Structure 1
Amino acid sequence: MNATTGITWVVGAELPDLAVEPVSRTTLAKYAGASGDYNPMHVDIDAARAAGSPDVFAHGMLSMAYLGRLLTRWFPQRHLRSLRVRFRALTPIHARPVCSGRVVAIEEGRERLARIELSVAVQDGTVTAAGEAVVACPAEERAVV
């Protein structure tokens, strides 16, 4: 859903969380196929164990894709001006990622821009990815999340 009319452009406004399906081996195989990233640590338990991990784990870029999904649920893609993400921890198999976003700044200029702080956390509270998006928010588009 693209619902830019469902956002109030104020510092502190929060995007509704996006809870994604648990990370399964099928999720990882599908993502590997879609992205072309067949690093064995993501799809082969023996390779993951040889590298010191107890099991396979999610691709970091999968978390970034989830953050993109969080944003495009509320903003048309054409409003996205930048997206930066830093991977902070592994997302283990069977984890239940939850993506969140909060407006931390509004910048007035040629465009009205919202800076949105982003994070992905798993059920034990570990933040696996964090970053920031800059989204154009035309002044005429106003309402409450």
Structure 2
Amino acid sequence: MTAGTGTAVIEPGAELPPLALPPISRTTLALYAGASGDHNPIHIDIDLARSAGLADVFAHGMLSMAYLGRLLTGWVPQERIRSLRVRFAALTPVHATPTCTGRVASVEDGLATLELAVTLADGTVTVTGDATVAVDRHPR
């Protein structure tokens, strides 16, 4: 079977094409704050971050989750996504370079379960999760 938008095989062990992202910039964080309505200053105010004992600001967890959504919709049409769950495991510092990855864990009854992760260039896994997507039973 193939994914709806490409030729990737949906079978256990298949890997989604990784989504390599540019470094997280202060502009990215400010734009995401405006788009999401999450204006928590820990994400955009370096003085506040330092007063909290951090070296600098860090990315919103939901930004990383949105990147995982982008990984999925780059692989299958949005209407096939049935669920997306994540666990935030570590902070994503400003200037970090995240990469989103996914692997098909199982396929059963027309649904594929995927294991997902966001990993920084230094190997830190910041987000783990899973998703369920409907499998196209009639590939073109």
Q: TM-score, normalised by structure 1?
A: 0.91
**Equivalent residue number for residue 80 of structure 1:** 81
Segments of 4+ in structure 1 off by > 2 A?
2-5
Q: 1:40-119 residue pairs with structure 2 within 5 A?
A: 40-108=41-109, 112-119=110-117
**Equivalent residue number for residue 127 of structure 2:** 129
Contact 1:3 1:73 survives alignment (8 Å): no
Please state how far the C-alpha of 1:30 moved relative to its aligned partner. 0.3
CA distance in 1, matches of 2:4, 2:35: 27
CA distance in 1, matches of 2:123, 2:60: 19
SS in structure 2 at match of 1:16: coil
Please state how far the C-alpha of 1:107 moved relative to its aligned partner. 1.2
Q: Give the unaligned 5+ runs of structure 2.
A: none
**Equivalent residue number for residue 36 of structure 1:** 37
Q: Give the unaligned 5+ runs of structure 1.
A: none
SS in structure 1 at match of 2:18: strand
Identity of aligned residues (%): 63
Report the count of equivalent residues.
138
SS in structure 1 at match of 2:27: helix
RMSD over aligned Cα atoms: 1.3
